A and B are shown apart, each in its own frame.
Chain A
Amino acid sequence: MHPAFSILFFTTLAGVAQGLAVLLALATLLGVAMSPGFVLNALVVAEVLLIAGLASSFLHLGHKMRAWRAVLMWRTSWMSREVIVLPAFIGLVGLWWLALALHASAAWVKLLPWLVLLGSFVLWYCTAMIYASLRFIEEWAHRFTIVNFTLIGLSSGMVLACALAALAGETAFVARFGSTTLVLTLLAWLVRFLSLRRNAAIRHRSTLQSATGIRAPQLVQKSMGMSAGSFNTREFFHGASALAVKNVRLGFQVLTFAVPALCLLWGLSSASTAPWLLALVSQAPGLLAERWFFFAQAKHPQNLYYQTVS
Chain B
Amino acid sequence: MMQWLKDILQSNLVDPQSSSASRPAAPPPSARALPGETLAKQLALVIDLNVCVGCHACVTSCKQWNTSGSAGPLADVKPYGADPTGTFFNRVQTYEAGTFPGTDTIHFPKSCLHCEDPPCVPVCPTGASYKRKEDGIVLVDYDKCIGCKYCAWACPYGARELDEERQVMTKCTLCVDRVYDEKLAPEDRKPACVKACPTGARLFGDVKDPTSEVSIAIRERGGYALMPEWETTPANQYLPRRATPSSES
Contact = CB atoms under 8 A, between A and B. Distances in A.
Interface string B24-45: 0111000101000000000000
> Interface on chain B toward A: helix, strand, loop, or mixed SS?
loop
Interface stretch (B172-180, B190-198, B201-209, B226-234): B226-234
Interface stretch (B64-72, B123-131, B181-189, B211-219): B123-131
B162 A206 contact: no
A140 to B, nearest CB: 9
A218 B98 CA distance: 5
B85 interface: yes
Contact of A220 (B83, B96, B157): B96
A213 B31 CA distance: 19
Contacts of B93: 221, 223-225, 305
Contact of A306 (B16, B92, B158): B158
B19 A62 contact: no
Interface residues of A, number: 65
B146 A72 contact: no
Contacts of A231: 87, 152, 160-162, 164
B150 A130 contact: yes
Interface in A217-253: 218-226, 228-232, 235-236
B125 A79 contact: yes
B164 to A, nearest CB: 8
Given A62-B146, A77-B123, A210 B228 contact: yes
A16 to B, nearest CB: 23
Interface of B: 4, 7-8, 11, 14, 16, 18-21, 23, 25-27, 31, 33, 49, 56, 59, 83-88, 91-99, 104-106, 108, 110, 119, 122-128, 144-150, 152-158, 160-162, 164, 166-168, 224-230, 238, 240-241
Interface of A: 1, 60-64, 66-73, 75-80, 83, 129-130, 132-137, 141-143, 146, 205-206, 208, 210-216, 218-226, 228-232, 235-236, 300-303, 305-306
